[in-house]
Amino acid sequence: MSTASDSGQTYVAAGVDIDAGSRLVARIKEIVASTRRPEVLAGVGSFASLFRLGEYREPVLVASADGVGTKLKVAAAMRRFDTVGVDLVNHSVNDILTTGAEPLFFLDYIASADLSADDKVAIVRGMASACRDVGCALTGGETADMPDVYLPRAFDLAGFIVGVVERDAIIDGHAIREGDALLGLPSNGLHTNGYSLARRIFKVGLGGDPDAERSALYHTYPALGVTLGEALLAVHRCYYRDVKPVLPEVKGIAHITGGGLIDNVPRILPEGLAARFGRGTWRVPPVFTLIQREGNVSDDEMYHVFNMGVGMVLVCAMSEIKRVRSRLPEARLVGEVVAQAGGKRAIIV
């Protein structure tokens, strides 16, 4: 009777190297340890993470899961893996910030067919850096080698975050009223949304000639001042430290991700209310103008797909604008809450 061993078949030959995985864990242990908080009770390598909840009066846990989307195709084409981990953490922190939550701990999932150990370490370094910036512990995750599921040079990245907020400090939009102000915080580019459209316009990550794709990404457009690839890989901005001091004055927070201003702001508005934005009240970064021109994309589509230069919207009473802007000077009045008229809950005029 023949066996896999008799025929020379091994897990390594099938595309999975267990020993290499163990060496990777050893390399990232020190990186992860740099994010440790006192509440963390188990290090990397355990079957599960342990985190002791600190002293709170009435704590509510806030959780979210997300990915980086097809921005990963741009990173892979440019062989740049030091930013997408930062993107992943920052996006996740922003999502739970919409409730007023403090980030506690983060876990990641990296899956690929043949991503090198160095590339994986670069991703983890980025995640650790972003976690340290907001005081969040990177408590562990999973690195999966999955040949035959992922194509060569393809990979995926997902993150899972848990935060906490006192129950009486939850921000959920229930107090928003007609006449309240919409304050916009600037983005620094696409963040992590709209890349499938942008890549199609610039013919990147579509399975074409790799040299032609890299050439497109290394092309410098005068309006950008950097290469197209650098503009597309601009890191998803984290708003936590900027917004935290003004949370007591804020009634609602919208993270502007997929769906743009049109879809995301209505998610926090009570029934019967809508968001009216004033076109021209904020600066639209040149990368969006370039995308629109090169792809002949309509205004409606642009504002429905991209953040268009506004990465987060805060809702507060008009009387609180001065107080908020004294601690958050870059916040711009970009619109107001109005009574809903017709079916639209967000309009740009």
The domain spans of the chain are 18-169, 181-348
Rounded CA-CA distance 136/133 in Å is: 8
What are the tens digits of pLDDT across the range 69-105? 999 999 999 999 999 999 999 999 999 999 999 999 9
| CB contact burial 154-167 (16+ within 10 A = b; e otherwise) | bbbbbbbbbbbbee
Rounded CA-CA distance 15/164 in Å is: 40
Report, as ranges of residue numbers, the positions in the chain whose pLDDT lies below 70.
1-7, 11, 14, 43, 45
Contact between residue 235 and residue 343 where contact means Cβ atoms under 8 Å apart: no
Token pair recorded at residue 230: 């650098």
pLDDT at 150: 87
pLDDT at 42: 76
For 181-348, which CATH class?
A: alpha beta
pLDDT at 197: 97
Token look-up 């794709």 returns 213
- The reply to whether the predicted model has a pTM over 0.75 is yes
pLDDT at 24: 77
CATH topology of domain 18-169: 60s Ribosomal Protein L30; Chain: A; (3.30.1330)
Burial class (CB in 10 A: 0-12, 13-18, 19+), 249: middle
pLDDT at 1: 46
SS3 annotation, the chain:
CCCCCCCCCCCCCCCCCHHHHHHHHHHHHHHHHCCCCCCECCCCCCCCCCECCCCCCCEEEEEEEEECCCHHHHHHHHCCCCCHHHHHHHHHHHHHHCCCCEEEEEEEEEEECCCCHHHHHHHHHHHHHHHHHHCCEEEEEEEEECECCECCCCEEEEEEEEEEEEHHHCCCCCCCCCCCEEEEEECCCCCCCCHHHHHHHHCCCCCCCHHHHHHHHCCECCCCCCEHHHHHCCCCCCCHHHHHHHHHHCCEEEECCCCHHHHHHHHHCCCCEEEEECCCCCCCCHHHHHHHHHHCCCHHHHHHHCCCCEEEEEEECHHHHHHHHHHCCCCEEEEEEEECCCCCCEEEC
pLDDT at 11: 65
Rounded CA-CA distance 75/123 in Å is: 11
Rounded CA-CA distance 279/277 in Å is: 6
Residue 308's region, left for phi above 0, alpha for psi from -120 to 50, else beta, is left
Q: Identify the bridge partners of residue 107 per DSSP, sorted by sequence position.
A: 140, 160
Rounded CA-CA distance 75/67 in Å is: 14
What are the tens digits of pLDDT across the range 183-237? 999 999 999 999 999 999 999 999 888 899 999 999 999 999 999 999 999 999 9
* Count of Cβ atoms closer than 10 Å to residue 117 Cβ: 15
